[in-house]
Structure 1
Amino acid sequence: MLVLLNIGCDQVTKEVVRNTIAPMEYIAFLNDRFILTNVENTGAMLGFGENLSPILKRILLQGLPIIVLLILLFRILKKPNIDRWLTLAFAFVIGGGIGNLIDRVAHGSVTDFFQIKWGFFKTGIFNMADVSVSLGILIIIFMSFRQQKPAL
């Protein structure tokens, strides 16, 4: 259910952006700290791989994510007693991954629309799928540190 909620939130926000914000439009809030825009990213995160050949893009940005998402899904379904936090983390990663994959297949690019600038801190332009994947990875990292027992 959480996977579907992540996909839905991602796809709805992207559709709203595509229909209401012109490409490359710049809408600033709170003294330019929060920016809404509409950018089509044909590469991966932060434009990585944007200049790859079409076949290599398809392999790296569509094929590889499908394999990774299937492995994650298989791991969740195979383990009956998986930790709740780990299940939550995997749901965020899978939901966000599928959200961006839908864009790549349906539109040939991923719609990114949000940026944060706070003092020296500045993010790249991202979307809700990116937030889901990042949050899921942070939970996985936190859980891996929490579960490690110090060697005596």
Structure 2
Amino acid sequence: MKLTKRNVYILLVIILTIAADQISKVIVRANVVGRTDFTPSERISLIGEYFVLMNVENTGAFLGMGSDLSPGLRIVLLLILPIIVLGYVLLHILKDKSLDNWTLFAFASIIGGGIANVYDRIAYGSVTDFLFIDLGGVFKTGIFNLADLSVTTGMVILLLVSFRKKKTA
């Protein structure tokens, strides 16, 4: 891989995404009492009951889905498959020179968030989730982390870029 300005941009977004996620998780693991069954034992109000910090160790994927799978199936679906997909997407964005900066940022954010959560599964056997938003029942999230936020943000950006391209076509 040639170290072009474009490739440095991609790698920098991935590395910063992983770093922000891992630093936040180290802080949460060290300072917030947590549990593994999606019933956190400590809730720290950041903005009233609207934005809450807690510590939940998620052995599954999104919202704990897959946590009841057999260990072998969990390894395949939550480790091996994501590593293959993330590697493929990284190769794609490094090779496809036609992608604009927003698309590159979106894919790099998704890759960084994915790598950060895969790392947690390998290193700790679970993913640390710690943020929860409840806007009075109008909008409510599951418990998530910065890697999840990066993946979601990347997906939203890809959707917006896709709609923008369709309008101009």
Deviation at 1:139, TM superposition (A): 0.6
1:71 is displaced (CA, Å) by 1.0
Matching of residues 1-150 of structure 1 within 5 Å: 1-23=12-34, 24=40, 25-120=42-137, 121-149=139-167
Kindly state the Cα deviation for residue 109 of structure 1 after the two structures are TM-superposed: 0.3
Q: Give the TM-score of the pair, scaled to structure 2.
A: 0.86
Aligned CA RMSD, in angstroms, stands at: 1.2
Q: How many residues align?
A: 151
For 2:30, the aligned partner's letter is: N
- How far did 1:149 drift? 4.7
Deviation at 1:91, TM superposition (A): 0.8
Question: SS of the counterpart of 1:122?
Answer: coil
After the TM superposition, which parts of structure 1 deviate over 4 Å for at least 4 consecutive aligned residues? Answer: none
- Aligned amino acid, residue 144 of structure 1: S
Letter paired with 1:122: K
**Which AA in structure 1 matches 2:122?**
V
How far the C-alpha of 1:76 sits from its partner, in A, is 0.8
Deviations 1:78-126 (A, max 9, x none): 1123211100001100000001011000000000000001121211000
TM-score under structure 1 length normalisation: 0.95
In structure 2, C-alpha distance between the alignment counterparts of 1:30 and 1:77, rounded to whole Å: 40
**Residue type of the partner of 1:140?**
L
| One-letter amino acid of the counterpart of residue 12, structure 1 | I
